[in-house]
Amino acid sequence: MSGILNSSIGRKFAMALSALFLMVFLLQHFSINILSVLSPDTFNDVSHFMGTFWVIQYLLQPVLIIGVIFHFVMGFVLEIKNNKARQISYAKNNGGANSTWMSRNMIWSGGFILVFMIIHFIDFWIPELNTKFVVGDMSGLVDPNNIESGYRYHEELVHKFVPIWRVALYCVGFIFLALHLLHGFNSSFQSVGANNKYTKGLKGFSKIYAIGIPLGFIFIALFHHFNH
Ligand code: HEM
């Protein structure tokens, strides 16, 4: 692994693989969260399954968190290395002539997504870990002593989107996510060598994904804010 990461192409390849992995996660994350709008009972059941099934909790979730950390660290490493290479090889970077505005600003959109992720973890993930592993309540119930009280997941999620400031903050995060994906999705396919007769179709699909998924997240946040 360290051998791959020692070459510039290897680093780009590893970066692209982690990006593709995170995009699969994002689609999965969106599919579950849209259930909170479409069917609260199904959302509760799926959340409880995801939150308690050991394969997901102890195998897939750690892999995901390592993937997220790897992508951020590698993104900063690539940016620093690229900047150094650019200083040596070009007299000046000819701005829009040789790259798009978004491709040159991946580090900024990525940085804003990192801020969003930290806030998002404090809002959702850390309280979840706390309830399950510190308090020791794996029941998933509103009242752990009363089975009739039902699952707590939907209620907790809706509650988070009551303050308008959080909805606004999340929506800004989703817009940066769209900008990041608009360039990143295509770029990651190119880095893993998927440049063939399907390229045009992939480009179309990546645009739909890059705009559709963040728009869907915006819809979820606004829906819960106006329907609580
Ligand atoms: C309306 C939008 C969103 C909602 C309602 C939402 C909801 C949640 C919830 C409830 C959890 C805790 C899951 C658990 O551990 O039980 C979570 C975790 C997480 N979210 Fe989100 N999320 C949203 C958007 C996003 C976006 C856009 C990203 C990535 C850019 C993201 C990345 C993550 C990650 C990495 C975790 C931790 C791993 C996991 O538990 O699945 N989320 N989210």
The pTM for the full model equals 0.92
What pLDDT score was predicted for residue 213?
98
User: Which amino acid type is present at position 202?
Assistant: L
* CA atoms of 80 and 220, how far apart (whole Å): 36
Closest Cα to atom 14 of ligand 1: 125
Q: What angle do CA 224, 226, 227 make, to 5 degrees?
A: 65
**Ligand 1 in reach of 217 Cβ (< 6 A):** yes
How many angstroms is it from 216 CA to the middle of ligand 1?
Answer: 13
**Ligand 1 in reach of 67 Cβ (< 6 A):** no
Q: Let me know how long the chain is.
A: 228
Q: Quote the crossing angle between the two packed helices 164-191 and 106-120, to the nearest 10°.
A: 130
**166-196 burial by CB neighbour count: b if 16+ within 10 A, else e?**
ebebbeebbebbbbbbbbbbbbbbebeeeee
What pLDDT score was predicted for residue 88?
62
How many angstroms is it from 126 CA to the middle of ligand 1?
Answer: 11
Q: Report the number of distinct structural domains present in the chain.
A: 1
How many angstroms is it from 12 CA to the middle of ligand 1?
Answer: 26
**Ligand 1 in reach of 33 Cβ (< 6 A):** yes
Range of the domain at 6: 2-226
* CA atoms of 168 and 164, how far apart (whole Å): 6
Please identify, by atom number, the ligand 1 atom nearest to the C-alpha of residue 173. Answer: 27
**Ligand 1 in reach of 48 Cβ (< 6 A):** no
**Ligand 1 in reach of 157 Cβ (< 6 A):** yes
- In this structure, what token pair is assigned to residue 75? 């993104």
What pLDDT score was predicted for residue 93?
54
How many angstroms is it from 44 CA to the middle of ligand 1?
Answer: 15
How many angstroms is it from 174 CA to the middle of ligand 1?
Answer: 12
What pLDDT score was predicted for residue 89?
56
Please give the average pLDDT of every successive group of 10 residues along the chain, which has 228 residues.
Answer: 75 93 98 98 98 96 97 92 71 57 83 97 97 96 95 98 98 97 86 75 91 98 96
Kindly give, in sequence order, each residue whose CB lies less than 8 Å from that of residue 217, ignoring residues fewer than 6 positions away. Answer: 30, 33, 170, 174, 177
